[in-house]
Structure 1
Amino acid sequence: MITFQLEFQILEIQNEESLSSVITDLNIIMEPTEYSELSEFVSRAEERRDLFMFFRSLHFFVEWCEYRKRTFKHFKDKYPEAVHLSEGASSSCMGVRSASQPEFELVIVWRIQVDDEGRAVPKLDLLPRVPRRALELDQNGIIEAAPVSFQALLGVLGIEAALESLIVTLRRGGRLVPTQ
């Protein structure tokens, strides 16, 4: 649930043929929320004085947040020993630990960005957390290439299948192989 308050002023202009209204001032006041991604798009809506964009973007933003929450919860329930959510069910980050090497962890950061046209789109990134020694031994640069490989996996499989593939690979102690 996202609560907010709108303050706006409307200037009505009437001529012989029509009446038109223009928003001359818009202020959107939001209570603090766990969705840090909101502040940028709220500022943009205020600058443009575009209530339609604000409501449309908020609608799709909330839908993506709910989808992220359900998806992360699904994987936490399915793989409780491997998946952890540092901020609970509403987390924007999901950690996946290796069964064979618990000090090896991949963190999926899932943000929802609202572009200049007001479209809400998911943005997923992979952050490997590995011991320094593992980085030194990784002569093929597999750990360094993992974020790019994850983006390719997302493009081919989609969000849920890419996450499932990543979790299953780490649970089995398998190797992550970069794409060419």
Structure 2
Amino acid sequence: MSTPLNLNQLQEEISILEDRLVQVRKNKKRVSTDINFTERLINANDQSLLSTKPFTNHVKILSTGEHIRHYIMTGDSRGLGFNLEFDVIEPDLCIQNLKIKIEPFIRREIGHFIENMERDANLLTFFKGFIEYARLNDQRELFFNAMKQKFSFLAVDVCANFLLKFSDPNDSRISPELIFTWRLNLTPGHVRPDVSLLARMPDHWRTNDEKRVIDQIPYNFQKLVELKGIQPAVEMIVMSIFSDV
């Protein structure tokens, strides 16, 4: 297993890239950090939010009163299903009593957004947000699969829909472990990805790490994401840690 020497080299590369970024910032005004950050993360072509409409499998309409219709709707977007129930007050053309059912793993990630949509009976914003969430979730799954293929010589475990672990399959007891997370924070208007990379290191690595480069991995990862994008950032750090596997 390699020592933190490779991490020291990585630290030097990051410093060089950071100096270049400072010069770029002096010459060019940056725009909309969230939008640029999202596009760098997913490396996807720009497209309309509504270019992928939710596929409605079934709609059932029941009359519950003189001017009230009760809707039951099921559908999906990119394989992520949803079930909706709501009332339409016909004279006012307004929606009430919106109930949204989604898979538990989706609710764990965007539960707060779903609660707000139910409270406000905001069906249109739910559709827009869910479509964008499904699109980015699809990109996330593709990225995880790409990492498993590229680092097939490592143990790459998808522990949740947002968490990926890298380790040495030959000796997991003393192997370093990198833990990558990619969460999707959904709010009305946009989905903001939140990525991080943490390291669990054996004692002998930390003993030899005089410059405490290991402790700086989370911070350096964020800088690399900004400088080069998410995939190069992950690849650079993984290859630095597991170069001798």
Deviates more, 1:161-170 or 1:33-42: 33-42
Of structures 1 and 2, the one with the larger relative CO (CA 8 A, separation 6+) is 2
Pick closer, same or farther for the CA change 1:41–1:73 going to 2, 3 Å: same
Where in structure 1 are there 5+ consecutive unaligned residues? 14-19, 174-180
**Match status 1:8 vs 2:48:** no
Answer whether contact 2:81 2:103 (CA < 8 A) is retained. Answer: yes
Q: What do you get for the CA RMSD once the two structures are aligned?
A: 2.6
Answer whether contact 2:178 2:199 (CA < 8 A) is retained. Answer: yes
Pick closer, same or farther for the CA change 1:5–1:135 going to 2, 3 Å: same
Greater gyration radius: 2
**Match status 1:30 vs 2:67:** no
* Percent of aligned pairs sharing the same letter: 24
* Structure 2: distance between partners of 1:133 and 1:168: 19
The alpha-carbon deviation at position 152 of structure 1 amounts to 0.8
Answer whether contact 2:144 2:158 (CA < 8 A) is retained. Answer: no
Identify the residue that residue 198 of structure 2 maps to in structure 1: 127
Task: Within 5 Å, give how 1:131-170 maps onto structure 2.
Answer: 131-132=202-203, 134-135=205-206, 138-170=209-241
The letter of the residue matching 1:65 is N
Pick closer, same or farther for the CA change 1:50–1:97 going to 2, 3 Å: same
The alpha-carbon deviation at position 83 of structure 1 amounts to 4.9
CA-to-partner distance for each residue in 1:1-54, whole Å, 9 max, x for gaps? 2222111122344xxxxxx42222211122434663132221121122211111
The letter of the residue matching 2:98 is L
Task: Within 5 Å, give how 1:64-79 maps onto structure 2.
Answer: 64-79=136-151
* Structure 2: distance between partners of 1:31 and 1:157: 34
Pick closer, same or farther for the CA change 1:153–1:98 going to 2, 3 Å: farther
* Structure 2: distance between partners of 1:91 and 1:113: 14
Answer whether contact 2:117 2:123 (CA < 8 A) is retained. Answer: yes
Answer whether contact 1:98 1:170 (CA < 8 A) is retained. Answer: no
The alpha-carbon deviation at position 150 of structure 1 amounts to 0.7
The alpha-carbon deviation at position 97 of structure 1 amounts to 2.8
Identify the residue that residue 57 of structure 1 maps to in structure 2: 129
Deviates more, 1:103-112 or 1:135-144: 135-144
* Structure 1: distance between partners of 2:107 and 2:157: 15
SS state at 2:134 partner: helix
How many residue pairs end up in the alignment? 164
Deviates more, 1:62-71 or 1:1-10: 1-10
SS state at 2:175 partner: coil
**Match status 1:94 vs 2:164:** yes
* Structure 1: distance between partners of 2:205 and 2:240: 18
The runs of 4+ residues in structure 1 deviating greater than 6 Å are: none
**Match status 1:172 vs 2:243:** yes
> Equivalent of 2:116, from 44, 47, 50?
44
TM-score normalised over the length of structure 2: 0.59
* Structure 1: distance between partners of 2:87 and 2:123: 12
Where in structure 2 are there 5+ consecutive unaligned residues? 1-78
* Structure 2: distance between partners of 1:149 and 1:100: 27
The alpha-carbon deviation at position 113 of structure 1 amounts to 1.0
SS state at 1:36 partner: helix
TM-score normalised over the length of structure 1: 0.77
The letter of the residue matching 2:242 is R
